Amino acid sequence: MDVPVEEYTIGWISALTIEAIAARMMFDQKNRGPTRRIPDDKNSYVCGRMGEHHVVITILPEAGGVAAGQAATNLTRTFPSIRYIFMVGIGGGIPRPKYDIQLGDIVVSVPTDECSGVRQIDIGKEEEDGFKLKGTLNQPHVTLLGAIKYLQVLHAMSEGHVHSLVQHPRNVPPRLRAQFAYQGPEAGSGCSRPPGGCEECDTNQTRPDPEIHYGIIASGSKVIKSASVRDRIGETFDACCVEMEAYGLMNYFPCLVIRGISDFADGQKNDNWQGYASLTAAAYAKDLLLSMPAEQVQYSPALAKS
């Protein structure tokens, strides 16, 4: 289907191929790519519809905040009606008493009185009493934050669509099913809803739904592979997740960061959970879009920069 670039309101950025595959699985309809783009826009785009919203996905050519910022700039110029940008993919969990984070769980960046929802952890200066952060990042638009609150209510009432999108994903090629399946040792064929609570489930209740954590995401230019460094980041910045791209977006755009936990940033990383964690993050992003009327999104200002 051909859709004018002016009708796309949601930008979706993935850093890894596996994240973009999970995002593509969320489409209700696949659209053709843009028929025109700005000069020097080297992004590749996958376009489609999720619920009432036309969404454009781009994947970064390389990891890191600089690449993310450049990709977002080009995206918003080629698609001038983009209202919100979602950074969706995997991240490293920071287990803390405040957050019982497990592999496959979802972390959503939300602002506090002192933080926009994302902390850029490696920009600052060393002072006599320790390292001091420099500057602050943008936070998501207030309309988007209101939609998150509404979705929290739905999830508290066991409503919403994360369960169905994660436990019964559609558009999954057979050869990829194992890669995007729940990876836990007791993963069965059923789900965690009570019998009769999910029309698509049987009564074999062995596979858990992912928990959703709302908190601060630590973002920096270095890969964290140390439990002690990870724990210090969690304690210093009150963070529950660490990743490498969001700071490059939120320096310039008020985006929302959604991460599925694929490892614990402790040096014992493997790729087994990347598919499932990408799927859970993408499912939350789609559920958020499904809870928002298209007219509501139009009220927010476009992000395009001249």
201 found inside a domain: no
* Digit-coded pLDDT (tens) for 53-102: 999 999 999 989 999 999 999 999 999 999 999 999 999 999 998 889 99
DSSP labels, 196-263: TSSTT--S---SPPPPEEEEEEEE-SS----HHHHHHHHHHHTEEEEESSHHHHHTTS--EEEEEEEE
Give me the pLDDT at residue 193, please.
43
Give me the pLDDT at residue 195, please.
42
77 found inside a domain: yes
Q: Contact at 8 Å (CB) between 97 and 90?
A: no
* Digit-coded pLDDT (tens) for 196-224: 457 777 545 446 899 999 999 999 988 99
Question: How far, CA to CA in Å, does 278 sit from each of 11, 33, 41, 123, 197?
Answer: 17, 23, 26, 28, 25
274 found inside a domain: yes
Q: How many CB atoms lie within 10 A of CB 108?
A: 24
64 found inside a domain: yes
200 found inside a domain: no
Give me the pLDDT at residue 111, please.
87
Closest residue by Cα to residue 150 from 304, 299, 293: 293
305 found inside a domain: no
- At 128, which CATH number? 3.40.50.1580
Task: State the amino acid at position 36 in one-letter form.
Answer: R
23 found inside a domain: yes
Angle at 283 between CA 275 and CA 77, to 5 degrees: 95
249 found inside a domain: yes
Domain count along the chain: 1
Domain of 134 in residue numbering reads as 5-190+208-299
Consecutive 10-residue runs of the chain (306 residues): their mean pLDDT? 93 97 97 89 96 97 92 95 96 92 96 86 59 64 92 94 93 93 66 54 65 95 93 93 92 90 88 96 98 91 77
